[in-house]
Chain A
Amino acid sequence: DAKTTQPTSMDCAEGRAANLPCNHSTISGNEYVYWYRQIHSQGPQYIIHGLKNNETNEMASLIITEDRKSSTLILPHATLRDTAVYYCIVSYSSEANSKLTFGKGITLSVRP
């Protein structure tokens, strides 16, 4: 079973920031938070991952609360191509066999 809960869907206007929340209240100390997205009929695309500190890359920012029970993925300037299903997943990064268990994700719709 997925260890995260996300809203079913949300939308935002093109050019605005999209803030996607995720709850992972049972996360353990060694588990990372991963974000992937899946555009229709494609394989999931890695976005970002983090352990406890906030992370930023060219795609997005990841804000993890101090107690690590929730996080927010921020797409700073959403475009129409960001319309996709976004998955928040917790997993152990240091173990090669650690698997990613996908929940239902959140469908982000970016409107013109």
Chain B
Amino acid sequence: GAVVSQHPSRVICKSGTSVKIECRSLDFQATTMFWYRQFPKQSLMLMATSNEGSKATYEQGVEKDKFLINHASLTLSTLTVTSAHPEDSSFYICSARTGASSYGYTFGSGTRLTVV
């Protein structure tokens, strides 16, 4: 089946630094990828939708200058949390699909970000 690899699985960074999270589709080309954030005991909240070769579409209330998304190829999307602060500590999850996916949407295993 379709596999999405997300890296790193855990990261701890200092307040004010930037962190990059990678999301790769391993055995299919992902024209569209999605980024979610999940706080403890809450559901997944969609942050943005990225399409290969174009600018990401951010959900209302998500700062695009803080959460930089790049989808430069059909197999890789990255999320960079810039100038991270403790309130950015969360579980970040990516998802990918193709235009003809028969699996629905495939999710990465998530990245636990802790900002200290």
Contacts and interface: CB of A to CB of B under 8 A. Distances in A.
Interface string A29-58: 000001010100111111001000000000
Interface stretch (B12-20, B66-74, B75-83, B101-109): B101-109
A45 B107 CA distance: 7
Contact of A97 (B4, B32, B107, B109): B32
Interface in B7-60: 31-32, 34, 36, 43-46, 49, 51, 57
A97 B51 contact: yes
A101 interface: yes
Nearest to B30: A96
A103 interface: yes
Contacts of A69: none
B63 to A, nearest CB: 19
Interface in A61-112: 87, 93, 96-97, 99-105
| Chain A interface bracket (under 10, 10 to 19, 20 to 34, 35 or more) | 20 to 34
A105 B103 CA distance: 20
Contacts of B112: 41
B49 A43 contact: no
Given A42-B109, A43-B108, A101 B93 contact: no
A102 B110 contact: no
Contact of A43 (B6, B32, B45, B99): B6
Contacts of B31: 96
A43 B109 contact: yes
Interface in A5-50: 34, 36, 38, 41-46, 49
23 contacts: A36-B105, A38-B44, A41-B112, A42-B109, A42-B110, A43-B6, A43-B107, A44-B44, A45-B107, A46-B103, A46-B105, A46-B106, A49-B104, A93-B104, A96-B32, A96-B51, A96-B97, A99-B49, A100-B95, A100-B105, A101-B46, A102-B43, A105-B43
